[in-house]
Amino acid sequence: MIYLDYQASTPVAPEVARAMQPWIEDKFANPHSPSRGGHEADAAIEVARKQVESAIGLKGGSVAFTGSATEALNWALKGTAEKGRDRRNRIITVATEHAAVLDTCEWLSERGLEVTILPVAADGRLDLDKLAEALDDRVLLVAVMMVNNEIGVTQPISAIAQLAHENGAAMLCDAVQAFGRFDICEGPDLVAISAHKIHGPKGIGALWMRRGHEPAPLIHGGGQERGLRSGTLSPALCVGFGVAAKLAQERCTRDHDHVQKLWRAAQEALGSGWIINGSVHHRYHGNLNIRREGIDATRLIADLRDIAFSLGSACASGSGRPSHVLKAIGLDYREARSSIRLGFGRYTAEQELAEACQRLTRAAVEQEKLHA
Ligand code: PLP
């Protein structure tokens, strides 16, 4: 199997698996209990927290662990609305955000919050003038992702945060696809991340919160995570997340250079006839979302079962809905149906990527011949 679905999830780093092992097999004490084992587990969690905070690199805040980035985003949006809705009652977000943001905003709008969803240009970028026009003194929160999970396009997060702050609003950044690949931009007050996108385990995410911007708790109970997010933490998952974050930080340049090499190799091997969806320049180059006139991407997936890649037209959040992102950048139904997403990174070999791309093009040409 050639694995080209890095935006969906990344292979667990061997260093991560090794570090988690003792916390799965032997060290089972509750990290919140006062026993010696409990203290040891708690200390390991605090090391992991520091590792994640250091990889985020922002000052003036701290991280709370969550069960996923989806939970972190739900918490950030609902908890901020809960805390501030007497003062301000509007949220601004963008049409290409992840379902974890858009569906939560819809849920909030059904409960009386005013939600503005800004469009993007054909390259997938937000027009800052449109954001400036939309902002007013009723806006509580502006939520924009740093790197899009479907098309890899980046947004100018610091400029967005500055505009939000000038209007007295806070800023939430979904940095799930950016964390470990780019430096997290200065400016956001809340940042959501996920371990399984950086070669860590599934089932753990985190919310970085600037001091004073902690959302109201969503999950009540034992008062863990400073009373902000109750529930017994998993030392194994926290340790795995910490090691994955440390590795990503240490290997940042090396991983980046490797991805640049893969990006060039993929395009060379694909040859002509493919169009890149979204901006080529304002983009994470480990995401190649492409389309080809007239082909049926579902058939490509069926023809090439030993290559793991995603349909461009299916919403990458796993909801099975059609892609709201491709629609937002102006693609029609046929163009969306002829789109695929190739995602690669640290453990992708140049050779296997080139082979997969050549086979993709051959299969696409076969389809074209059938329709000619
Ligand atoms: N935000 C983005 C941009 C994502 O790509 C994903 C996962 O696909 C999420 C949020 C949700 O992350 P998790 O799988 O940790 O819930």
Q: Report how far residue 98's alpha carbon sits from residue 282's, in angstroms, rounded to the nearest whole number.
A: 18
Report the candidate in 133, 140, 134, 149 with the shortest Cα–Cα distance to residue 97.
149
pLDDT tops 80 at residue 289: yes
Beta-bridge partner residues of 141: 91, 170
CA–centroid distance, 271 to ligand 1, in Å, is: 31
Q: How far is the CA of 174 from the centre of ligand 1 (A)?
A: 8
Q: Are 144 and 160 a contacting pair, CB within 8 Å? A: yes
pTM of the model as a whole: 0.97
Note the pLDDT of residue 40: 98
**For residue 34, how far is its CA from the centre of ligand 1 (angstroms)?**
34
Mutate to test the pocket of ligand 1, among 65, 71, 98 (most ligand atoms within 8 A of CB): 98
Half-sphere exposure of 76 (CA within 13 A, CB side): 36
Other CB atoms within 10 Å distance of the CB of residue 127: 12
Spatial distance between the Cα atoms of 229 and 260, rounded to a whole number of angstroms: 38
195 lines ligand 1 (CB under 6 A): no
- pLDDT for residue 372 is more than 90: no
Query: Average pLDDT, whole number, for the chain?
Result: 96
3-state SS, one letter per residue, for 326-363: HHHCCCCHHHHHCEEEEECCCCCCHHHHHHHHHHHHHH
Q: How confident is the model at residue 81 (pLDDT cuts 50, 70, 90)?
A: very high
Largest Cα–Cα distance of the chain, in whole Å? 72
- Is residue 96 in contact with ligand 1, taking CB distance under 6 Å? no
Q: Which atom of ligand 1 is nearest to the CA of 317?
A: 8
- Judge whether residue 370 has pLDDT over 90: no
Q: Is the minimum distance from the CB of 205 to ligand 1 under 6 angstroms?
A: yes
Measured CA to CA, the distance from residue 314 to residue 337 in angstroms comes to: 8
Cβ-in-10-Å burial (0-12, 13-18, 19+) of 173 comes to buried
Decide whether any atom of ligand 1 lies within 6 Å of the 100 Cβ. yes
Is the shortest distance between the CB of 70 and ligand 1 below 6 Å? yes
Q: In a mutational test of the pocket of ligand 1, which residue from 7, 157, 317 has the highest number of ligand atoms less than 8 Å from its CB?
A: 317
Cα–Cα distance measured from residue 99 to residue 91, given in angstroms and rounded to the nearest whole number: 15
What pLDDT score does 75 carry? 98
Give me the pLDDT at residue 251, please.
98
Res 319 pLDDT > 60: no
| Cα separation, 64 vs 211, whole angstroms | 12
**Whole-angstrom Cα distance, residue 368 to residue 261?**
29
Of 27, 18, 8, 5, the closest CA to residue 247 belongs to: 18
Residue in 77, 195, 213 with CA at minimum distance from that of residue 145: 77
Give yes or no for a contact between 103 and 321, defined as CB atoms under 8 angstroms apart: no
Q: Using CA atoms, how far apart are residues 362 and 147, in angstroms rounded to an integer?
A: 30
Q: Mind telling me the catalytic residues?
A: 315
235 Cα distance to chain centroid: 23
Pocket test for ligand 1, best of 176, 190, 317, 319 (most atoms within 8 A of CB): 176
**Residue 277 CB less than 6 A away from ligand 1:** no
Distance CA 69, CA 204 (A): 7
Write down the pLDDT at residue 98.
96
User: Using 50, 70 and 90 to split pLDDT, how confident is the model at 320?
Assistant: low
Question: Contact 2/308 with Cβ under 8 angstroms?
Answer: yes
3-state secondary structure of 118: strand
Over residues 213-218, the mean pLDDT reads: 98
- pLDDT tens, position by position, 175-198: 999 999 999 999 999 999 999 999
- Cβ(245) – ligand 1 distance below 6 Å: no
pLDDT at 371: 79
Residue 196 alpha carbon to ligand 1 centre in Å = 9
Q: How many angstroms is it from 71 CA to the middle of ligand 1?
A: 10
pLDDT higher than threshold 80 for residue 45: yes
The SS3 of residue 15 is: helix
Helix (H, G, I), strand (E, B) or coil at 180: coil
Q: Is the CB of 98 under 6 A from ligand 1?
A: yes
**Is the predicted pLDDT of residue 321 greater than 90, yes or no?**
no
Does the Cβ of 177 fall within 6 Å of ligand 1? yes
- The span from the CA of 198 to the CA of 181, in Å, is 8
- Strand, helix or coil for residue 135: coil
What is the SS3 assignment for 212? Answer: coil
For 50, residues 6+ apart whose C-beta sits below 8 A from its C-beta are 242
Distance CA 293, CA 61 (A): 47
pLDDT for res 313: 59
Whether the CB-CB separation of 185 and 157 falls below 8 Å is answered with: yes
Count Cα neighbours of 337 within 13 Å in the Cβ-side half-sphere. 8
Using the mean position of ligand 1's atoms as its centre, give its distance from the Cα of residue 38 in Å. Answer: 31
Ligand 1 atom nearest the C-alpha of 148 is 3
Residues 6 or more apart from 153 whose CB is under 8 A from it? 96, 123, 124, 125, 147, 278, 279, 282, 283
**pLDDT score of 275 more than 90:** yes
